[in-house]
Chain A
Amino acid sequence: MEGLLSALIIIGIKILVILAIVLGVGAYLTLVERKVAAHIQRRPGPMVVGWHGLLQPLADGLKLLTKEDLFPRYGNKFLYNLAIVMALVPASLVFAVVPFGPEFEVFGIRVKPILTDVNVGLLLFFALGSLAIYAIALAGWASNSKYALIGSMRKAGIVISYEVVITFALMGPIILAQTLSTYSIVQQQIEQKLWYIWLQPVAFVVYMFAMLAETGRVPFDIQEAEAELVTGFTVEYGGMKFGLFPLVEWYVETLSLSAIAVVVFLGGWSPINIPFVGFIDPLFFLGPLSPFVWFVLKVSLLFLFVLWLHWTLPRYRIDQITSTAWKVMLPLTLVNLVFTAIIAPVVWR
C-alpha cells in the first residue's frame, strides 16, 4: 500500500513537472519566439510589459481569457470543442514517454525521470502523433468555413505525409537499439558509446524536416499562410480556444518532437559524443545534475534551430511539401532502413 502511495506521489510530481513544461515553458516560449524573431529581423520585439517584455505572455494569456466565447453559426459545436481536446491532450501526452535523465535516488526511492517507461514507448509516440490529425481535420470541418476547411485539409495532408516519413525515419535507430522503449534507446546509445546521429544522419535530417512539417513551421507552414488563409483552420476559433492551437502546435509539439529527436538521435541525457572515442562531459562539475542540463540544452538548441529556420526561410506550396515527403523523404528513409539493416551487426558487435 505504501509502495502504491509513494508511486502515486512520484507520478503526481512528474505530471506537475510536465505540466509546468507544457503550459509554463510553452507559454513563455511565445515570448522567446517573438524575441528571437525580432532580433533576427533587427527589431527589439515586445518591450513594454515588464523588463524587456518579460511579462508579455501573462498579458497575452489574460487577454485571451477575457475574450467573448464565440461559436461559428453553421458549425458543429461538439466537434468544434472536441478538436481542441484532441489537439491538446495527445500533444501533451507525448511527454509521458520522454526520459529527462538517468535513474536517480532520492530519499531512498529510485526514480526514473520518465512518466511511463514502457517497451512500446515509440509506438505510443507515433499513435499520439497520428491522433493530432483528428484535431486538425475536426477543427476545419466543425468550423464550417471555407478558409478553415482548406487550411485543415492542407495541414492534414501534410501531417499524413510526414507521419509516414517520421515512422520510417525512426526505424533505423530502432534496429540499432533493438527496442522501442525511449529510456532503453538512450541507454543503448550510452552503452554503445555512440549517438545514433553519427550512423543515421539521413534519418536525422529527414526527421527534422518532418518535425518542421508536423508542427507547421516555416518552410512548411502552408496551412497557416497568414497572407492567404488567415491562420488556416483556427480562423473560427476565438479567445483561449484560439490560443491553445498555436500553443500546442508551435510550442508543445515542437518541444516534444525535439525531445524525441534528442532521445533517439542525440543520446538523450548523455554528454557530447565523439565516435570511436566516447563521451566527453564539459559540464562534469554539475555532478548528478549534468544529464538533465544536457538534455535541456539539446532540446533548447533544437528548438532555437527551428525558430531560426522559421524566421529566415520562405514557404513552400502544399503540393511541393507533400511531394517532397513522398518523393524525397520516403525513398530516403527506405534506403536508410536497408542500409541500417546492413550495418547494424557492426554496431552490435
Chain B
Amino acid sequence: MEKLGAQFPLISISMLIPTLGSFFVVLLPERFTKGISLISTGITFLISLYSLTLFDFSKGDVVQFYEHYPIIPELGISLSLGLDGLSMLMYLLTTLVSLVAVLWSVRDKQINHRIKEYFLWFLLTESFLIGVFASWDLIVFYVFYELTLVPMLFVIGIWGYKLRLYSAYKFFIYIFISSLFLLLGTVSLAVQHYKLFGRFSFSYFDLMNNDYPLGLGIFLFMLFFIAFAVKTPIVPFHTWLPDAHGEAPTAGSIVLAAILLKMGTYALFRFNIGLFPKVVAFLMPILVLWGIFSIMMASWFTISQKNLKRFVAYSSISHMGFVVTSMFLLNLEGFRASIMEMFAHGLTSASLFMIAGFIYNRLHSFNMDALKGSAKFMPLFAIITVITAYSSMGLPGGSSFWGKFLTVLSAREYTTQLALLVIAGAFFSVIYMLYLMKVLFLDTKEESRLVHFADIRGFKLSAFLLLVIPMFMVGLLPSLFFNIFDMSVKKLLLYVMHKLIGG
C-alpha cells in the first residue's frame, strides 16, 4: 500500500492533546477538571474535522498523514501512524464519541466522586483509541488495543453500578486473555516474514506480502480471530459484554459500545481479511453463517432482558453480528455495509446508552417494568429516543438502514437463501427495538409519579444532538461517508481477489 507522508504530525498531535489534558487534570485542582477535559476533547474533535478537510478523498486507499518513528529497528517495530479511508472514519467516530462521553459526564449524577481520576481515564482512552485506529504497526496496534483495557477497567470498577467489581474483573480477564492470542499471532506473522524475507517486520504493509501454507494460515487466522471475536463480540464469546456494558457508568458504556466494539470489527476487517485473504475465502461460509447465527441469538437474548442497559448491550451484539456477516461476504457491497454499520452503530448505541442513563438519573432503575411509559412526559427526550430507535432498527433514513440493506444486497449476490437469512436476522433486530419503544411509550404505570420529570436540556441535550445529527447525515446523505472509505475498501477487495486468483 502506498503511503503519503504527513507535512505536519497531525495524528500525533491529536493523540497528545488528550494526554496533555490528562496531565493538567492531575496537576490542577478539581474545579478545572471538567473544563480541561471538555476543551481537550473538543480540540481533538476539531482537529479530526480539520484533518477531514485535508484528506484527499480521491486517494482514499492511500495511507495519509503518515508518520514513522522507529522503536526497535532490528525487529522492525516502529510507531507508524496514518489514516486511510477506513481509519479516517473510525478516527472521526472516536473523537466524536469521546467528546459526547465527556459532555455527558459533565452533568452525570453517577460521577460524584474521584472526578479527577474519571476524566483522566476518559482522556487517556481517547488517546489510546486514536492510536488503535491510526497505527499501521501490528505491535503498536496491540499496545494501544491492550491499553484501552486499563482505563475501562477503572471506569467500570469505580463508577459503575452494583456489580461493578465483578464486571470489571470479567471484562478485563476476557479481553486480556483473548488478546494474548493476538499477541502470539502478531509475533508469529513477523517471524513468518523473517523466514520469508530475512528480516523481522511488524509493519502492516510488509506483512501483507507474507504468504502462508493454508494450514499455518488457518492457525494464524484463528489466533487473530479469537481475539477479535471476543472483542467484537460474536455470540459464544459475548458473555463479558452485558456485564461490562450493563454495569459501566453511562459514559463508559458509550465509549465501550461505540468505539471499543468497533476496535474488534475494525481489526477483523483490517487484519483478518487484509492479511489472510486465502484463509478468509476458504472459511467464508462458516464465518458468514456464524455471523448470522450471532445476530439471531443476540436478538433473542435481547428480547428476554429485563434490565434496560443489558437490553441495549445485547442489541449491540446483534448489530455487531451484521458487521461481521457482511464483512465476510467478501464483496464490495458487503464491505461497504460492514463499515457503514460500524459507524452507524457507533452513533445509535451511544445514543441508546445515553437514553438508558438519562432514565436512570430520573428513576434510579434500569428495570424495564419500572420504566414503563417514562418517555411520555419528556417530549424532547421522547423525540430523540424515537429517532435513535428507528435509526437503530434500520428504517430507511435511519443510520442503520444502509448497513442492513447493503448486507442483504451483498448476500443476494451469493444466493437468495442467504439473503433471506440475513433478512430474518434484521427482522429480529426490529422486533426488540419495537419492544423497547413499546415499553417506553405505550405501557403505562402510575402516571402521577412520573409527571414531575424535568426534560432533557443543556449539556446532555448537546451531547444527544452531536449524535443525532450525524445519524441523519448517515441516513440521508450516505454518499458523504461512502466517499471517505470507498477507495480503500475497493483497494482491499482488489487485493483480496488478486491474492485469490494469483496465489
- A–B direct contact (CB < 8 Å): no
**B interface with A by C-beta (< 8 Å):** none
